[in-house]
Structure 1
Amino acid sequence: MSERKTIAETLHNGVSIVFDVDDVLYQDGTGHHQLALIRNGIFGKVLMLDGAVQVTSRDEFMYHEMLAHVPIAAHDNPADVLIIGGGDCGLAEEVLKHKRVGALTQVEIDASVLEFSKEHFADFNASVFDDPRFRVEIADGAAFAAETDQRFDVILVDSTDPSGPGAVLFTTEFYRNLKRILRPGGIVVSQNGVPFLQPEEFQTAMRGLRSVFEIASCYLVAVPTYFGGHMTLGWSTDNAETLTVSEETLAQRMAGIDTRYYTPLHHRASFALPRFIETLLEEATK
């Protein structure tokens, strides 16, 4: 009988999740990350960076649809969109489904992650690389936000967790730079973790966002591989109208776009927070 092969995610102290490994498709260091790609019987291809699950081919649509469609559908003219991070390009795929998006810039620190994802996740990102609206800049996301002269209507921060190279993307200075490059009425959405397992990280991020933006809250998405309960996506803007767009208008803006998770009704419902997350938000700004 062959020995069972497993790999564990070790992101959270005190708990881990173990995946059966049907095949090891790739394993190496990239210079910025320790990267592993495995095949699992339930989740398909599973990409792990530094011991944390980044994306799986089975449930990537849940996270990417909500990160992309909620802000873009809420914005009345999302002509220029910026993605910071998002090396698997699943988010870019969802953004480019919107014909109202005229240009998408993606800033990724590690070119090898892009090339890797282009090879191994073509089932959901192949269309991105043939779209003339898509432009990649290999650069540090925090430095780009501090230095660029470009301006954007929607900014999506698809970052790793707040440790190692990704920690700088959770600082107040970074959030100030995002506001600097955001056009009036624009929206910033950021990956803010799982509050049940990361309450301090969640509060630190929200405290920083609320110190910079007039409106800073979050909405929810459930992604099986990001275990620990609700995942929060930070919502930052100075335009209160983006939070009150009608279901009918959202449906019009999403017309012709096929989704498996997002609906206009769920868009609005995702901003209804459980009490414990509301409490963490309140405590963060006292």
Structure 2
Amino acid sequence: MINEKIWHEKLHRHIGQYFSIDKILYQKKNKYHDIVIFQNSIMGRIMVIDDVLQTTEKDEFIYHEMLTHVPIFYHGFIKKVLIVGGGDGGILREICRHNSIENITMVEIDINVIELCKKFFPRHSNNAYKDPRLKIVIDNGLNFIKTTKEKFDLIISDSTDPIGCGNDLFLSEFYLHCKNHLFENGIFVGQNGIFFLQKNNINQSYKKLKKYFNDVSFYQATIPSYYGGAMMFSWGTDNMDLRKINATNLEQRIKNTQLSFNYYNSKIHISSFYLPEYIVNTLNKS
């Protein structure tokens, strides 16, 4: 329970970040998560799950735009999407902006997260939960992907960090079933943490994904509220040509949608796959 005026993130043992608490808006532990929502004068409302920062009002758009639009525009013909996690609604909001997408399934283990974010973070979902294309399934993400008979063009794993029930979404078994439930040319992407502080986790994801996909990589975005450097997103597909689209054609795809963004653009998109040498060297040794 939080009783102080300062919240300290406990994801990393010896270092971390602090946020002042202007007001605690919600604080409760259920069978899945220990959830705290509080107000901060700079970042707005902040949601913390199991002592790890999940999302803020101020900079959520960076994370959600990059995890959504990079695979959608690289693919070019996404019709059916699976979101695993994502109960705050930000990924759903960005997907729903694409009129060409016909079917959206969201699998969230804790319906309480969805209801809390509708109440305390309404701009995250921006009424996307009312979209008729959406089907919500309350289930463990691993269990769903093991048992479903459906296939998808895009699977987005918007998970918590690999602790507690979130660990299931970083298992080799999860990646295998995601691969088996993608259509031809389908794409898997997922949140994969901060390389500088979570190198071992990201190396393990890379090794596991390489077992199942022909084209495996990571791309990145700098998100102020996540401590320790650039956020890494995993990428997996069997179509080696998807990432070969040139900048002109990519820009045309974006223009054809007539969408505008706060962070994402074609140059950010392409450059996000160019990783620092210390990351490249580490992955090459995996």
The aligned counterpart of 1:274 is 276
Per-residue CA distance 1:184-228 (angstroms, 9 max, x = gap): 101100111111001111101111001111111100111111110
Q: How far apart are the structure 2 equivalents of 1:209 and 1:57?
A: 32
How far off is 1:90 after superposition? Answer: 0.5
* Secondary structure of the corresponding residue to residue 225 of structure 2: coil
Per-residue CA distance 1:157-208 (angstroms, 9 max, x = gap): 0000011101111111110000000011011001111110011111011110
Q: How far apart are the structure 2 equivalents of 1:88 and 1:4?
A: 25
* Secondary structure of the corresponding residue to residue 277 of structure 1: helix
Per-residue CA distance 1:21-79 (angstroms, 9 max, x = gap): 01101100122000000100110000000000000000000000000000001112100
How far off is 1:248 after superposition? Answer: 2.6
How far off is 1:139 after superposition? Answer: 0.7
Q: Is the 8 A contact 2:16 2:227 kept in 1?
A: no
Q: How far apart are the structure 2 equivalents of 1:76 and 1:15?
A: 41
Alignment gaps of 5+ in structure 2: none
Q: Which residue type is aligned with residue 36 of structure 2?
A: A
Q: Is the 8 A contact 1:37 1:45 kept in 2?
A: yes
Q: Is the 8 A contact 2:89 2:129 kept in 1?
A: no
Q: How far apart are the structure 1 equivalents of 2:225 and 2:68?
A: 19
Q: What is the correspondence of 1:9-48 to structure 2 with a 5 Å cutoff?
A: 9-48=9-48
Q: Which residue type is aligned with residue 269 of structure 2?
A: H
How far off is 1:4 after superposition? Answer: 7.5
Q: Which residue type is aligned with residue 43 of structure 1?
A: M
Q: Does 1:69 align with 2:69?
A: yes
Q: Is the 8 A contact 1:172 1:212 kept in 2?
A: no
The aligned counterpart of 2:58 is 58
Q: How far apart are the structure 2 equivalents of 1:215 and 1:138?
A: 31
- The percent identity for this pair of structures is 38
How far off is 1:124 after superposition? Answer: 2.7
How far off is 1:126 after superposition? Answer: 2.8
Q: How far apart are the structure 2 equivalents of 1:113 and 1:168?
A: 18
How far off is 1:251 after superposition? Answer: 2.4
TM-score where L is the length of structure 2: 0.96
* Secondary structure of the corresponding residue to residue 200 of structure 2: helix
Q: How far apart are the structure 1 equivalents of 2:13 and 2:285?
A: 23
Q: Which residue type is aligned with residue 228 of structure 2?
A: G
Q: How far apart are the structure 2 equivalents of 1:13 and 1:52?
A: 12
Q: Which residue type is aligned with residue 91 of structure 1?
A: I
Q: How far apart are the structure 1 equivalents of 2:181 and 2:52?
A: 30
Q: How far apart are the structure 1 equivalents of 2:254 and 2:100?
A: 10
Q: How far apart are the structure 1 equivalents of 2:82 and 2:128?
A: 14
Q: Does 1:192 align with 2:192?
A: yes
Q: How far apart are the structure 1 equivalents of 2:220 and 2:120?
A: 28
Q: Is the 8 A contact 1:4 1:20 kept in 2?
A: no
Matched length:
282
State the Cα RMSD in Å.
Answer: 1.2
- Over 4 Å off, 4+ runs: none
How far off is 1:94 after superposition? Answer: 0.7
Q: Does 1:123 align with 2:123?
A: yes
Q: How far apart are the structure 2 equivalents of 1:138 and 1:67?
A: 22
